[in-house]
Chain A
Amino acid sequence: MDHRPQAWGRPRDDVYGAYDPSYFHNSGPKTATQSPIVTGTSVIAIKFKDGVVIAADNLASYGSLARFTDVKRLRPFLNASVVGFGGDVSDMQYLDRHLKELAIDVAYITPEASEQTKDFTAANLFTYLQKVMYHRRNHFDPLWNQILVAGLDNDDAPFLASVDLRGTSFTSPSLATGFGAALAQPIMRKYAATEEDAAKLTREQAVDVVKECMKVLFYRDARSLDRYSIAVVTKEGVELKEDEQLERQSWAFAERIKGYGTQTV
């Protein structure tokens, strides 16, 4: 009999074998995101004369299942930037909590709202997010997202940039994640191939282009939805609409498609 109190109430090692501590979470692999589970599809954005338009649909898919149909994937930050998330939704929610905390910290340091946005522009926020993403990839525990950040830079010029789960970051007059990179980006590049082109676009034109792209994405991306969020970021702040419906849908163009299928002519 073992009289030591530490041993009481425990299965005897000589009978049951030593306790397997791998069940105790202090050995074995880290519980890191090894693959995305619930995912959001494309985020698209384009710069215009005095700001950026960004959009993403409201669907979170579980594989091929359209699981959650009212998930907001555009998040405003300090009424000066919008962050659009593609990829894993739980990682998006983690980052969203993280950014909320950050916004509270900023509010404590600079209580005046107009001063906050001077210190924390979209460009600053993006640099921060890039570091977070790259740091997590360095620890083999990536946040499985591709992120677009829209807003203004430190000179009040339109700012748009992208960072992915490996910390790769880049900017462009228009950007799109996921399927949008193949379907929406060519359309947006027709209107804003260069920064100069983008600087000539009006707000109305930019919004129209983005809405048209959302329509194309809904036609051809099987993991998309006709309910979407769209935000316009300018010097005046963020105007975010989170429950928009795709308008003027029509498959009339399908008749004119030739070259494949069972067509005999």
Chain B
Amino acid sequence: MAMFSQNPLMNGPNYSFSDSPRVAAPEGTRQHRFDPYTDNGGSTLAIAGADFTIMAGDTRLTSGYSINSRFHPKVFKIGGTTADQKDATLVLSVVGFAADGEALKERLDSICKMYRYRHGKPMSVKACAQRLSTILYQKRFFPYYAYAILGGLDEEGKGAVYSYDPVGSYEREQCRAGGAAASLIMPFLDNQVNFKNQHIPGSGEGHALQERERRPLTRQEVEILVKDAFDGAVERHIEVGDGLQMMVITAAGIEEIVLPLKKD
């Protein structure tokens, strides 16, 4: 029957709207598109010690020039068996777009909880770190706009810090700063944690200069360093301030410390 048709389209089985050729989009494609992201400011910091890890973040939440909240934590215990996270062993910090950060935290937390129920033991930092990378990469083409840092103790009981970019590239490091004031804090950390550009006085000129010997920092030293780093960031960055939240992860558990920062 189709051979009698004058219309090439009719050579199909029947008339159906879904069969006719699709026109790409109607006239006047939208100029203005909804932007699903914002930057909520704030900064995070993580330092690994010999037998501890300190995760820290300020507690300000901004949008533009306004302060939405003076206490909105960015550092979370992850993978405890209960809602209060009493027996958690891992800590996640997220900074960037707050709603994505929250969603990311909740996903990782539920995955760690499932792992714990199924295997009867908490997830190791190494395993959790790989899983977090996978979660981020799964949203490669509509990313979680959040800079995550994962902290805990490794299999040998040493402090471990894993840092991420929004699409899941990750690396284990001694220390990392993230968020709005990362560029202010990171060079300070290079100098104070990894002793970069620190030399033994009078040991020579130019290349002959001897590097200062590296040693792991103590918990007290790191706590002071974190406070100093944030006090510096608060002074020079408007999106950082209000409060400093610190999580100290040791073999004995996770201790939370909240200190005041400048509120201006």
Partner-binding segment picked from A21-29, A66-74, A79-87, A238-246: A21-29
A170 touches B69 (CB 8 A): yes
- B contact residues, range: 35 or more
A170 touches B72 (CB 8 A): yes
Partner-binding segment picked from B7-15, B116-124, B150-158, B187-195: B7-15
Closest to A32 in B: B34
B20 touches A21 (CB 8 A): yes
Q: Which chain A residues in 1-58 approach chain B with CB under 8 Å?
A: 2-4, 6-7, 10, 12-14, 18-24, 26-29, 32, 34-35
Q: Does B23 contact A (CB under 8 A)?
A: yes
How far does the Cβ of B80 sit from chain A's closest Cβ, in whole Å? 18
B34 touches A19 (CB 8 A): no
Contacting residues, chain A, for B98 (C-beta < 8 A): 168-170
Q: Does B26 contact A (CB under 8 A)?
A: yes
With most chain A CB atoms within 10 A of its CB, the pick from B37, B61, B69, B142 is: B69
Mark contacts of B13-28 with chain A using CB atoms, 8 A cut-off: 1 yes-contact digit, 0 otherwise.
0110110111101100
Closest to A134 in B: B99
Contacts known (A4-B14, A168-B99, A171-B69); A140 close to B20, Cβ less than 8 A: no
A19 to B22, CA, bound (A): 9
Q: Which chain B residues in 45-90 approach chain A with CB under 8 Å?
A: 61, 63, 66, 68-72
Closest to B142 in A: A138
Q: Does B251 contact A (CB under 8 A)?
A: no
Contacts known (A35-B32, A170-B68); A27 close to B22, Cβ less than 8 A: yes
Per a CB cutoff under 8 Å, which of B7, B20, B66, B70 touches A182? B66
A172 to B21, CA, bound (A): 54
B61 touches A170 (CB 8 A): yes
Q: Does B252 contact A (CB under 8 A)?
A: no
How far does the Cβ of B5 sit from chain A's closest Cβ, in whole Å? 6
Contacting residues, chain A, for B25 (C-beta < 8 A): 22, 27-29
A7 touches B63 (CB 8 A): no
How far does the Cβ of B263 sit from chain A's closest Cβ, in whole Å? 8
B15 touches A10 (CB 8 A): yes
Q: Does A113 contact B (CB under 8 A)?
A: no
B22 touches A7 (CB 8 A): no
A18 touches B26 (CB 8 A): no
Q: Does A145 contact B (CB under 8 A)?
A: no
B15 touches A6 (CB 8 A): yes
A19 touches B66 (CB 8 A): no
How far does the Cβ of B177 sit from chain A's closest Cβ, in whole Å? 23
Q: Which chain A residues in 136-186 approach chain B with CB under 8 Å?
A: 137-138, 140, 142, 162, 166-172, 181-182, 185
A26 touches B18 (CB 8 A): yes
Contacting residues, chain B, for A2 (C-beta < 8 A): 4-5, 7, 10
Closest to B17 in A: A21
Q: Does B40 contact A (CB under 8 A)?
A: yes
Contacts known (A168-B38, A172-B69, A172-B70); A3 close to B1, Cβ less than 8 A: yes
A20 touches B66 (CB 8 A): no
Contacting residues, chain A, for B197 (C-beta < 8 A): none
A26 to B72, CA, bound (A): 43
How far does the Cβ of A171 sit from chain B's closest Cβ, in whole Å? 6
Q: Does B30 contact A (CB under 8 A)?
A: yes
A137 to B14, CA, bound (A): 39
A28 to B24, CA, bound (A): 7
Contacting residues, chain A, for B66 (C-beta < 8 A): 181-182, 185
Contacts known (A34-B30, A170-B72); A21 close to B38, Cβ less than 8 A: no
How far does the Cβ of B60 sit from chain A's closest Cβ, in whole Å? 10
How far does the Cβ of A84 sit from chain B's closest Cβ, in whole Å? 16
How far does the Cβ of B21 sit from chain A's closest Cβ, in whole Å? 6
A4 touches B1 (CB 8 A): yes
Closest to B33 in A: A34
How far does the Cβ of A261 sit from chain B's closest Cβ, in whole Å? 25
Closest to B68 in A: A170
B21 touches A34 (CB 8 A): no
A138 to B36, CA, bound (A): 8
Q: Does B231 contact A (CB under 8 A)?
A: no
Q: Does B223 contact A (CB under 8 A)?
A: no
A27 to B24, CA, bound (A): 8
Q: Does B209 contact A (CB under 8 A)?
A: no
| Given A24-B17, A27-B22, A134-B103, 7 other A-B residues pairs in contact with their CB atoms under 8 A | A6-B14, A20-B23, A21-B22, A28-B25, A138-B142, A168-B97, A172-B70
Top 8 A-B residue pairs of the complex, sorted by shortest distance between their CB atoms: A167-B99, A170-B69, A6-B15, A168-B99, A18-B20, A172-B69, A13-B7, A22-B26
Could you list some 5 contacts between A and B, CB below 8 A?
Answer: A19-B17, A142-B36, A167-B99, A169-B99, A171-B71
| B-to-A contact residues, CB < 8 Å | 1, 4-7, 9-10, 14-15, 17-18, 20-23, 25-26, 29-30, 32-34, 36-38, 40, 61, 63, 66, 68-72, 97-99, 102-103, 142
